[in-house]
Amino acid sequence: MLELMINSEITKVVDAKADTMLLNYLREQKQITGSKEGCASGDCGACTVVMVDLTPQQQLRYRQINACITPLHALHGKHVITVEHLKQPQGLHPVQQAVVEEHGTQCGFCTPGVVMSLYALSKQSPAPSHPADYLAGNLCRCTGYGPLITAAEKIAGSDIADPLDNDEQKVLAWLKTVQPIEDRHYLKPKTRQALAQAKRTLPNAKLIAGGTDLSLEITQQRHSIDEFIDISEVDDMLEITPTVSGWRIGAAMPMHQVHEFVREHFPSADEVIERLGSLTIRHRATLGGSLGHASPIGDIAPLLISLNGHIEVDDGENKTLYAPEDYITGYRETLLKPNQWISAIHLPRLAPNQHHAIYKVSKRYEDDIATVTLGINMTIGSDSRVKSCIISAGGVAAKSVRLRQLEEVFVGKPLNLPLVHAAQEQVPQVIHPLSDVRATAQYRVRLVQNLLQRFYLQTQQIETRLVHHA
């Protein structure tokens, strides 16, 4: 049995299948139909609801999520707020009123999801500096986004009196006392030893943390998944800890928390994390999930390769580190054995003379799959020669790859434009991408060539600034 709270009412579910999605349950079992299905893949945001749980400090935390790709069982012990709950006897909720006043709706299909994203925004304290980020996961093809962005800025800049605050003490008390989930088809271990035992108990179960990719097997491919092991609360996988050379990042940490760390310590990677899905997706997505599925157009593997990171694999007794380019062996294939899981990511610190960049080219800035992702990491000596070089790419092969032949062009030579041109000439011999709906093979080759030159130009700008400041 699982227990969650929906719109401030405790709900106990006895017989739901482990692969039941929250959206299906809301619409088909509870007749709560304000949340819509637009894509069933977490892209459009029409299904957006707000999930409320506890921070480590035992305070209420409000985050928007995609109901269409969130398993119902993952909401055990959490509060779900849908657009219906915002209804007030005396009129519209202040968030809804802000959308009306700014003329932010037209056909109305996407509006419930937009409103719930804005409601999550209204619950953030302090208010975020970029309120429009909360709308990145909501697509609207009627009005354009100007009115909605204005509404977001108005909401973030005002002290909204939320009528639902009257329920907060009730919600807080329940969240603190709800018991662990009881379902033999959906195990939720708390330690690595318990996780190892869970894998022995359910050897065919799928591991899930956020499920933003795995859930598509259910909603898009119509597969049935009978058993899950939820690793979202395994203590060994939920923290960032210093190591001798850098940091260990728990593989089950939500991506929005990882983003805060990246912004501070690896600012060159800030944009690619910010463009990984949307904030709604990053509230559930994890590093381990991305690497576990090993998509050839994933952004995380090229990033880790370029940063000389390593993937920690665990079986409950022993942990082993692998370079990402070795861990991923083929199209969605990895070195993972049935009794193993990804427990963490290890990243070394960048040295002052290291120049790192990672570029993502896609049709949309946010919430889109990359056409090409290219990561470059060069250590340049005082003599302007390249001491070491790492170049990684996604979208150019059946897996994310390290382009060692291009690296060899740079190492030991002064970094200049003729050298970049020499590397560009090698690109067609080094990569042999496919043509698909996102780009032709020739276009992908040209992208890699152009991004090499972009890196050189940016590096020269950085070097010039350093000289002027010396």
Q: Residue 206 forms beta bridges with which residues?
A: 228
Per the model's pLDDT, the better-predicted residue between 125 and 88 turns out to be 125
pTM reported for the whole predicted model: 0.93
**What is the mean pLDDT of the segment spanning 247-267?**
96
Q: What is the pLDDT of residue 1?
A: 87
Q: What is the pLDDT of residue 254?
A: 96
CA distances to 114, 152, 332 from 365, rounded to whole Å, are 19, 19, 25
Hey, what domains does the chain have and what are their CATH numbers? 1-181 (3.10.20.30), 238-469 (3.30.390.50)
pLDDT-based confidence at 30, cuts 50/70/90?
Answer: very high
Q: What is the pLDDT of residue 468?
A: 47
The answer on pLDDT for 159 being more than 90 is no
Q: Tell me, what DSSP letter sits at residue 29?
A: I
338-352: string of b/e by CB count within 10 Å (b at 16+)? eebbbbbbbbeebee
**What is the mean pLDDT of the segment spanning 358-367?**
92
Q: Which residues contact 81 (CB under 8 A, 6 or more apart)?
A: 7, 49, 50, 51, 52, 62, 116, 119, 164
Average pLDDT taken over every residue of the chain: 95
Segment 89-121, tens digit of pLDDT: 888 999 999 999 999 998 999 999 999 999 999
Both tokens assigned to 252: 């089950």
- Gap between the Cα atoms of 35 and 278, Å rounded: 18
pLDDT-based confidence at 462, cuts 50/70/90?
Answer: low
Both tokens assigned to 253: 């940490």
Helix pair angle (94-101, 111-122), 10° resolution: 120
Helix pair angle (146-156, 111-122), 10° resolution: 30
Q: Which residues contact 338 (CB under 8 A, 6 or more apart)?
A: 199, 203
- Gap between the Cα atoms of 370 and 271, Å rounded: 13
Residue (of 291, 325, 270) closest to 210 by Cα position: 291
Q: What is the pLDDT of residue 465?
A: 58
